[in-house]
């Protein structure tokens, strides 16, 4: 690989030697010998298997739950319902004051998405747990469901989540996260061209090869060791502490190598109920998602809709941008209010635009709750923005790369959410891309700089 | 539930266990014998993470019943290194950066070993075909293919 050191030569410290060198990965020897310990490689004598009874409906009231037949099934040790969970209603981001608590560990009175956990069965074997789970009788009254974000936002739409009271997350700024910068309508009025386009994405499942799960071992002193493949150790520890109303000192979390996560293992889903099972039975417990659960139950990347309206001048300057973003949280918040908020800051892209108006909504529907995945909140936005940039360049008959040079942010530029730009390198990156891809641009763009004034 | 005796050779040593009828070889290896190098990714024969070698053939241990393995010669990735010296495939996976999360790695190495045992100088197409039943969700396929080709080259140099 060729290293180009001419960029930032005057600010570069050159005493570093690692980049460009091949260094062995520290975890590889364990991987190639099969010695790396994943959570499920822990096995304890007398370990119980936990299986969930899940909602077959997208939205339903629970009239009654009858676990008597399941409890009599051979091998069943314990059956848990909502009343067994000390603090059953939680939300992950309450740790950073993003409430309200809006999700149940085990459904209580209502289910809001198809696949929601209702009853947990603990048995001597996976098979016994599965068979007993099939014997739990839940009487449902099916309710109208809503799956489309714009339908969910209309008056009269079925209310998905009573803890919110409306089908969107209420930010301190109101029904959406808002960015207001300059005068967007004046910008449109003075623009040579206006282009409004709508972009949509579907939920995406991470599908890690190792499914979500944990193994819990009681230590005999009311303290529990939880081997987990969570990607968010302290979120999980602290939320478990809240849900089980146990001090963190009673919870010993052991992480380690995760068999693929990609953001899909940041929710607090398996640990609290498995630890509760271990506490109530005094036995080790494993709760490991089946492949079907991993694909259908674990949080996907949110479906998003992004509507972008841009005003552009014939000389290539974008003078106004208005974006309305919708993030489909599914039935519960998890990390989506944060994801939608990230979008609000991100939608101007790495471009300096003088007039910006952004609204981003975190919307509740009766779909599988979505959560983190690789750059959630901005990845779909970037797709939309860069397709939009190509369309704008075509509209004014300009080379799409030169068009980006004209609008690229540079150090000192004020971004729409009022963070001054620092450490920008977009121009240098595009200059290198221009050479590497043999996509020549005019010399004046090759002479531009992200940080030298006037260049 | 009825237990059945099963006796086989695992990485050169004799193993004997009583398993419940219907127990998969994957469960017997991991939960009874304690060889956790085969991984359970799907338990339905689609991901390849549980791959082992039975009598020289690549097999999915999640779809193989332990009780059908009586007298078999079973090899897993845990038994590949001899006397602390890595097998050329293990060495190549290290050198070619062919591991990321590592969960698919033992199965990949098993599939690659069966290929190289039969086809010491495989083409790239042979490697792709041999690994086609093993899923890497970190999507690091290219370094894995390169690692297998690297191991094949190392083997042929040693043989020459």
Q: Are A52 and A76 in the same domain?
A: yes
Distance of alpha carbon A55 from alpha carbon A106, whole angstroms: 11
Average pLDDT of chain A, as a whole number? 95
- For the complex shown, is ipTM > 0.95? yes
- Provide the sign of the torsion angle of the four alpha carbons A39, A40, A41, A46, taken in this order: positive
User: Residue A353 carries which DSSP code?
Assistant: -
On whether the CB atoms of residues A298 and A206 are closer than 8 A, the answer is: yes
Pick from A256, A274, A296: which residue ends a domain? A296
Peptide bond into A318 cis (omega under 30): no
A122 shares a domain with A231? yes
Per domain, the residue ranges of chain B are 3-79, 88-159
Query: Where does residue A328 fall: left (phi above 0), alpha (psi -120 to 50 degrees), or beta otherwise?
Result: beta
Which chain A residues are closer than 8 Å to B146 by Cβ? none
CB spacing of A209 vs B49 below 8 angstroms: yes
A436 occurs within a structural domain: no
- Overall number of domains in chain A: 2
Count of residues making up chain A: 455
* Residue among A332, A268, A333, A328 at smallest CA distance from A301: A328
- Give the max Cα distance, chain A: 80
Backbone angles phi, psi at B73, to 5 degrees: -105, 110
Q: What is the mean pLDDT of residues A394-412?
A: 97
Last residue of a domain, one of A389, A406, A423: A406
pLDDT class for A10, splitting at 50, 70, 90? confident
Residue A455 has pLDDT above 60, yes or no: no
Residue A26 touches partner B, C-beta closer than 8 Å: no
Query: From the CA of B27, how many Å to the nearest CA of chain A?
Result: 11
> Per residue in A127-142, pLDDT tens?
999 999 999 999 999 9
Residue closest to B52 by CA, chosen among B40, B60, B41, B42: B60
Average pLDDT over residues A130-156: 98
Burial of A166 (0-12, 13-18, 19+ CB in 10 A): middle
What is the pLDDT of chain B when averaged over all its residues?
96
| 8 Å CB contact of B106 and A34 | yes
Nearest-CA residue of chain A relative to B93?
A32
Question: Is the domain of A375 the same as that of A227?
Answer: no
Do A375 and A341 belong to one domain? yes
pLDDT for A18 equals 77
The secondary structure element, H or E, covering residue B3 is: strand B3-10
A185 in any annotated domain:
yes
Q: What token pair was written down for A379?
A: 């990845």
Q: Is the peptide bond before A277 cis (omega within 30 degrees of 0)?
A: no
Sign of the CA dihedral with A253 first, then A254, A256, and A260 last: negative
pLDDT at A4 over 60: yes
Q: Do A25 and B47 touch (CB under 8 A)?
A: no
For an interface test with B, the pick among A22, A27, A32 (most B C-beta atoms closer than 10 Å) comes out as A32
pLDDT of residue B156: 86
- Pick the more confident residue, A454 or B147: B147
Query: Any CB–CB contact under 8 A between A43 and chain B?
Result: yes
pLDDT of res. A113:
98
Spatial distance between the Cα atoms of B107 and B58, rounded to a whole number of angstroms: 10
Least confident of A214-218, A225-229, A451-455, B153-157: A451-455
Would you say A259 and A209 are in contact if contact means Cβ atoms under 8 Å apart? yes
Coil, strand or helix: which one is A412? Answer: coil
Asked if A343 contacts A377 with a C-beta cutoff of 8 angstroms, the reply is yes
Query: For residue A40, which residues of chain B lie inside 8 Å, CB to CB?
Result: 36, 39-40
Q: Is residue A132 located within the same domain as residue A218?
A: yes
Asked if A193 and A88 sit in the same domain, the reply is no
Interface test with A, best of B22, B83, B102 (most A CBs within 10 A): B102
| Statement to judge: residues A356 and A291 lie in one domain | no
pLDDT of A16 higher than 80: no
Report the distance separating Cα A103 and Cα A364, nearest Å: 12
CA-based nearest distance A145→chain B, Å:
31
User: Which pLDDT score is estimated for B157?
Assistant: 85
d(CA A307, CA A319): 17
Residue A246 lies in a domain: yes
Q: How far is A128 from chain B (nearest CA, A)?
A: 11
Statement to judge: residues A314 and A379 lie in one domain: yes
Q: Are residues A284 and A304 in the same domain?
A: no
Nearest to A149 by CA among A333, A331, A364, A378: A364
Tell me the pLDDT tens digit for each residue of A218-268: 999 999 999 999 999 999 999 999 999 999 999 999 998 999 999 999 999
What pLDDT is recorded for position A269?
A: 95
In a domain, A32, yes or no: no
- In Å, how far is B104's CA from the nearest CA of chain A? 7
Distance CA A139, CA A400 (A): 58
* A401 domain-assigned: yes
Residue of A nearest to B110 (CA): A32
Q: What is the pLDDT of residue A69?
A: 98
Tell whether B97 is within 8 A of chain A (Cβ). yes
Half-sphere CA count of A293, side-chain side, radius 13 A: 19
Percent of chain A exceeding pLDDT 70 equals 98
DSSP A332: S
Structural domain contains residue A430: no
Q: Which of residues 130-149 of B touch A (CB under 8 A)?
A: 135-138
Distant-in-sequence, close-in-space partners of B123: CB < 8 Å, separation ≥ 6: none
- Mean pLDDT calculated for residue range B127-142: 97
Q: What is the CATH number of the domain that holds A314?
A: 3.30.365.10
pLDDT at residue number B87:
97
Chain B residues with beta carbon closer than 8 angstroms to that of A24 = 94
Cβ <8 Å between B102 and A36: yes
pLDDT greater than 50 at residue A346: yes
pTM of structure: 0.94
> Nearest Cβ partner of A34 from B37, B41, B47?
B37
Cα-Cα-Cα-Cα dihedral sign, residues A283, A284, A290, A295: positive
Q: Which residues on neighbouring strands pair with residue A184, listed in sequence order?
A: none
Of A41, A207, A259, the CB nearest to B101: A259
Lowest mean pLDDT among A59-63, A345-349, B62-66: A345-349
Task: Tell whether the torsion through CA atoms of A275, A281, A285 and A289 is positive or negative.
Answer: negative
* pLDDT band with cut points at 50, 70 and 90 for residue B94: very high
Q: What is the pLDDT of residue A1?
A: 45
The predicted-structure confidence for A22-39, as pLDDT tens digits, reads as follows 888 999 999 999 999 999
Q: Is A268 part of a structural domain of the chain?
A: yes
Enclosing domain of residue A229: 47-143+207-296
Task: Give the per-residue pLDDT at A330.
Answer: 98
Instruction: Name the domain boundary from A261, A296, A331.
Output: A296
Strands A285-288 and A251-254, how do they pair? Answer: unpaired
Domain B88-159 carries which CATH code?
1.10.150.120
Between CA A123 and CA A77 the distance in angstroms is 5
Q: What is the per-residue pLDDT across A65-106, written as a single tens digit (0 to 9) for each? A: 999 999 999 999 999 999 999 999 999 999 999 999 999 999
User: Do A269 and A351 lie in a common domain?
Assistant: no
Confidence tier at A454 by pLDDT (50, 70, 90):
low
pLDDT at B70 over 70: yes
Q: Identify the band that residue A2 occupies on the pLDDT scale cut at 50, 70 and 90.
A: low
- A23 within some domain: no
Percent of chain B with pLDDT over 70: 99
SS3 B37: coil
How high is the pLDDT of residue A381?
Answer: 95
Query: Is pLDDT above 80 for A184?
Result: yes
Fold (topology level) of B3-79: Ubiquitin-like (UB roll) (3.10.20)
- What Å distances lie between residue B31 and A354, A391, B11, B40, B138, CA to CA? 63, 57, 17, 12, 27
Contact state of A32 with B103 under an 8 Å Cβ cutoff: no
Who wins on pLDDT, A372 or A19?
Answer: A372
């Amino acid at each position: 690989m060729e290293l180009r050191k001419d960029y930032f030569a005057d600010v570069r410290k050159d005493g570093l030697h690692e980049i460009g060198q091949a260094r062995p990965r520290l975890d590889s020897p364990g991987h190639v010998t099969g010695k790396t310990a994943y959570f499920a490689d822990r096995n304890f004598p007398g370990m119980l298997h936990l299986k969930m009874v899940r909602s077959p409906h997208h939205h339903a009231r629970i009239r009654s739950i009858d676990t008597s037949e399941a409890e009599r099934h051979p091998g069943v040790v314990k059956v848990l319902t909502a009343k067994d969970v000390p603090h059953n209603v939680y939300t992950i981001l309450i740790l950073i004051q993003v409430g309200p608590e809006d999700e149940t560990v085990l459904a209580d009175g209502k289910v809001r998405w198809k696949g929601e956990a209702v009853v947990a069965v603990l048995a001597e074997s996976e098979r016994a747990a599965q068979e007993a789970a099939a014997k739990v009788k839940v009487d449902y009254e099916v309710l109208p469901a809503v799956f489309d974000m714009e339908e969910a936002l209309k008056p009269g739409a079925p209310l998905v989540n009573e803890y919110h009271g409306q089908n969107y997350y209420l930010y301190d700024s109101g029904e959406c996260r808002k960015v207001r910068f300059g005068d967007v309508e004046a910008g449109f009025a003075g623009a040579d061209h206006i282009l409004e386009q709508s972009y949509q994405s579907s939920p995406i499942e991470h599908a890690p090869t190792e499914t979500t799960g944990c193994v819990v071992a009681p230590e005999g002193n009311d303290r529990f060791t939880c081997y987990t493949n969570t990607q968010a150790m302290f979120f999980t520890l602290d939320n478990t502490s809240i849900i089980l109303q146990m001090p963190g000192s009673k919870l010993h979390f052991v992480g380690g190598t995760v068999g693929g996560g990609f953001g899909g293992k940041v929710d607090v889903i398996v640990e609290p109920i498995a630890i509760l099972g271990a506490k109530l039975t005094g036995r080790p417990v494993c709760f490991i998602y089946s492949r079907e659960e991993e694909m259908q139950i674990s949080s996907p990347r949110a479906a998003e809709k992004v509507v972008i309206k841009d005003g552009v001048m014939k000389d290539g300057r974008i003078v106004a941008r208005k974006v309305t973003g919708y993030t489909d949280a599914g039935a519960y918040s998890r990390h989506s209010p944060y994801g939608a908020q990230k979008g609000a800051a991100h939608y101007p892209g790495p471009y300096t635009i003088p007039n910006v108006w952004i609204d981003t909504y975190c919307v509740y529907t009766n779909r599988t709750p979505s959560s983190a995945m690789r750059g959630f909140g901005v990845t779909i936005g970037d797709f939309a923005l860069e397709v939009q940039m190509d369309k704008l360049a075509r509209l004014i008959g300009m080379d799409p790369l030169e068009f980006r040079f004209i609008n690229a942010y540079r150090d000192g530029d004020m971004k729409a959410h009022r963070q001054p730009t620092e450490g920008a390198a977009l121009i240098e990156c595009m200059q290198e891309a221009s050479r590497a891809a043999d996509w020549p641009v005019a010399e004046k763009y090759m002479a531009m700089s992200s940080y030298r004034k006037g260049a | 539930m009825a237990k059945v005796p099963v006796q086989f050779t695992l990485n050169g040593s004799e193993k004997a266990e009583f398993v419940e009828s219907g127990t998969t070889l994957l469960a017997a290896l991991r939960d009874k014998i304690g060889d956790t190098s085969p991984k359970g990714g799907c338990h339905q024969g689609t991901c390849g993470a549980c791959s082992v070698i039975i009598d020289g053939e690549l097999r999915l241990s999640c779809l193989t019943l332990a009780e059908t393995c009586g007298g078999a010669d079973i090899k897993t990735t845990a038994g590949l290194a001899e006397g602390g010296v890595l097998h050329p495939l293990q060495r190549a996976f290290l050198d070619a950066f062919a591991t990321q999360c590592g969960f698919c790695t033992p199965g990949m190495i098993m599939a690659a070993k069966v290929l190289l045992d039969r086809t010491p100088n495989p083409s790239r197409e042979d490697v792709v075909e041999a690994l086609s039943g093993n899923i890497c969700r970190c999507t690091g396929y290219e370094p894995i293919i390169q690692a297998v080709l690297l191991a094949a080259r190392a083997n042929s140099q040693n043989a020459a």
